[in-house]
């Protein structure tokens, strides 16, 4: 059994409005739930994932903490990538 998390930044420019941060939780290659900065909350894709997404969405401070990487991680590193290119 394998459980893993994938975090990624999808972008068209270095502007914060053009950056989407997603964090997906997988179990045995099946995506259970995902946080998307464009949606602004967790979304579940399985019965278990829906329960986990609802629970995480109810924790407002945790939800805000999970949205922070868009600015702190994505925007910072994308700026470095644009300078290098």
Whichever domain contains 43, its CATH number is: 3.10.320.10
Please give the backbone phi and psi of residue 72, each rounded to the nearest 5 degrees, phi first. -70, -40
Distance of CA 59 to the CA centre of its chain: 16
Q: Which domain holds residue 41?
A: 3-84
pLDDT of residue 76: 82
Report the number of distinct structural domains present in the chain: 1
pLDDT of residue 31: 97
pLDDT of residue 55: 95
pLDDT along the chain (85 residues), means of 10: 91 81 94 93 96 94 85 81 71
Q: Looking up tokens 């270095």, which residue turns up?
A: 14
pLDDT of residue 85: 63
The answer to whether 33 touches 22, Cβ cutoff 8 Å, is: no
pLDDT of residue 43: 96
pLDDT of residue 23: 94
Q: Determine the Cα–Cα distance for residues 26 and 33; give it in Å rounded to an integer.
A: 8
The answer to whether 74 touches 11, Cβ cutoff 8 Å, is: yes
């Amino acid at each position: 059994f394998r459980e893993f998390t994938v975090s990624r930044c999808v972008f068209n420019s270095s502007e914060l409005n053009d950056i989407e941060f997603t964090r997906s939780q997988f179990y045995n290659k099946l995506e259970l739930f995902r946080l998307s900065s464009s949606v602004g909350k967790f979304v579940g894709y399985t019965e278990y994932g829906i329960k986990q997404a609802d629970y995480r969405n109810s924790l407002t401070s945790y939800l805000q903490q999970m949205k922070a990487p868009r600015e702190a991680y994505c925007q910072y590193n994308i700026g470095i990538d644009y300078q290098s290119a």
